[in-house]
Amino acid sequence: MIDTLRALLPHVAVEQSQSSDQPTIQVPADHLVEVARALRDQSGLEFVLLADVTAVDWWPREPRYEVVYHLSSMTRRLRMKVLLGGQVARLPTVQRVWPAAGWLEREVWDMFGIVFEEHGDLRRLLMPDDWEGYPMRKDFPVQIRLKPRYSQPLQMSEEEFQANLARDKAARADAPGKIGGV
């Protein structure tokens, strides 16, 4: 597989990476989209499914981030890694190659702050809109003290739960034209 990529893209430094479970390659960030298109379009490769995108923060090591793409064809799998350095990491989006990348890249941005250029919809996906920072970064302050921002409790006692069930059942029984109602 790596020989096919090197023949197709001789100007790109595609490297085989160590892995114990599946073939893994490392790709330079500036050639990510070009390699992704080759992996999807080249006969014999045809990695048509982008199953996942995630990242690893290796702080304090440089390059700090490793963005990991999990790809599948009809017969095999491939892990593609891209190394990124610096506090503000940037990478081109692969949405034009695999449209499903939109949600996956948003999740990586939300958790790690890695910017996917030309994405078009980088906004919070997992964290509240008013959240500050990126919680999967190793330098994220975990001992923060924030006042609760929601007035409703997330959990209730068994008595509250039973009372809600009884109130809901009574409301449905009293509703005209409904089953159980008059």
Residue 27 clears pLDDT 80, i.e. is over it: yes
Residue 65 has pLDDT above 60, yes or no: yes
Distances from the Cα of 109 to the Cαs of 21, 45, 98, 127, 154, in angstroms?
26, 28, 17, 11, 26
What is the pLDDT at residue 15? 93
Round to whole Å and give the CA distance between 2 and 14.
7
| Lateral strand order in the sheet of 77-84 | 15-16, 24-26, 77-84, 65-72, 49-57
pLDDT digits (tens, 9 = 90+) for 34-61: 999 999 999 999 999 999 999 999 988 9
Annotate 44-69 with b (16+ C-beta within 10 A) or e (fewer): ebebeebeebebebeeeeeebbbbbb
127-149: pLDDT as tens digits: 998 888 999 998 887 765 666 55
